[in-house]
Amino acid sequence: MKIKNQDFLKKENHHLVLSLILNEGPISRANIAKQTDMSPTSASRIVASLLEMDLIKEINTTNRGVGRKANYFIPNENAVFSFGVEIDKELIRIGVMNFVGELLMQKSYKHENRDPMKTIHFIGEEIKQIIEVKSLEESRIAGICIGLPGVISHDLGYVELSAQLEWKNINLSSLLQERVNLPVYADNELKLKALSEYSQIADPTIDSMVMLGFGSGVGSALINKGEIFRGKANFSGEIGHTIVDPFGVYCPCGNFGCLQTYIAESFLLAEASKKKKLMSIQELVDEAENGESWAENILNKAVTYTAVTINNIVCTFNPDVVVLAGSLVENYNPIKERILDKYKSMVWPTAKGTFEMRITETGSLGVVMGAAKSVQNKFIKDIDLIGELSK
């Protein structure tokens, strides 16, 4: 048991040093030892191991004063690559990230065939082609993570239900892994986007952040101290399926009157079709701005439910920051401005001034970036330290 505990401690220390270099490099051995509370000898031994694994690089700095030059360490940007994939109702995005979090490329495709097997085959073939075109060494690819809407068993990569895609009980990770022969993971798209968004926040005093997504569906994700809050079955944040009217419209999840049936794009267009056949939310916005009262009523109702959702989330989680995301916010400025104006009058008075409201900064690449980043996080935690633990 003692040996096992020592091995665990060694592994954790390697992860701690690697994470420090990734986040704060260039950094010296002395600063590594100081910030990790390790002895200089232990810090130097771990740095030497990471250099041997080609995960970090050593650089020399110019010293204008008297004394010996200090050697600093930075991540090796080409040590590890990861793929991030987003599957949404209308599109598929695929991106490749290097070890310092830079997207080397990203491609978008129309998601025309919603059949899960055909979608998985398409993604697999595209990833193979990207690997070939970019001349990526497969030994340096940490894996692939797919973000999609719905209830996802992230530890198994299993899609329990995606109402937007109309997928149910799909063993997504295993099916794609058979085609690409790489580790494959899957997770809820908003959770991944929230992870990416949180990493953009430079303020160390911010512990908790809630992201709210309004678009093809409605969802939320809570990040606390850099970690995704998942709940027991990983469906924490599925506010789109909270029932606001048990006698309301049927939702593909099987219930009636779910919140998303009052906000999600397809339901807004279905409501509009009772008056006029529209093909896009932009047409609905145009009708409202042209003075059509029926279009104005539809948007006002959706914005009101959105404001109610913001209030309920703030009252439930009491976060430091609320970030608004999703196509309704990111693609339609008039709707975004209505939401930002409306929520102020509907937030519980006690909660006013306790949180900061933001609009997503990661935008359309947030899911891909968060997915790729989650692969790297897993790689750092699970990495084989090539015999170091047996020393």
The span from the CA of 255 to the CA of 102, in Å, is 41
Name the band, by pLDDT with cuts 50, 70 and 90, for residue 391.
very low
Convert the pLDDT of each residue in 164-206 to its tens digit: 898 999 999 999 999 999 999 999 999 999 999 998 886 778 8
Name the band, by pLDDT with cuts 50, 70 and 90, for residue 130.
very high
Name which residue leads in pLDDT, 238 or 82: 82
Convert the pLDDT of each residue in 134-159 to its tens digit: 999 999 999 999 999 888 998 899 99
- pTM, rounded to two decimals: 0.84
> Own/partner pairs for 133-138, CB < 8 Å, 24+ apart?
134/96, 134/104, 134/105, 136/81, 136/96, 138/181, 138/182
Is the model's pLDDT at 232 over the cut of 50?
yes
Is the model's pLDDT at 108 over the cut of 80?
yes
List the domains of the chain with CATH numbers: 2-76 (1.10.10.10), 81-193+367-381 (3.30.420.40), 202-360 (3.30.420.40)
> What pLDDT was estimated at residue 7?
66
Least trusted range by pLDDT, from 96-110, 133-147, 221-235 = 221-235
Least trusted range by pLDDT, from 24-28, 90-94, 339-343 = 24-28
> What pLDDT was estimated at residue 6?
63
Name the band, by pLDDT with cuts 50, 70 and 90, for residue 287.
very high
Average pLDDT of span 61-86: 81
> What pLDDT was estimated at residue 269?
95
| Longest pairwise C-alpha distance within the chain | 80
Convert the pLDDT of each residue in 17-38 to its tens digit: 998 999 888 999 999 999 988 9
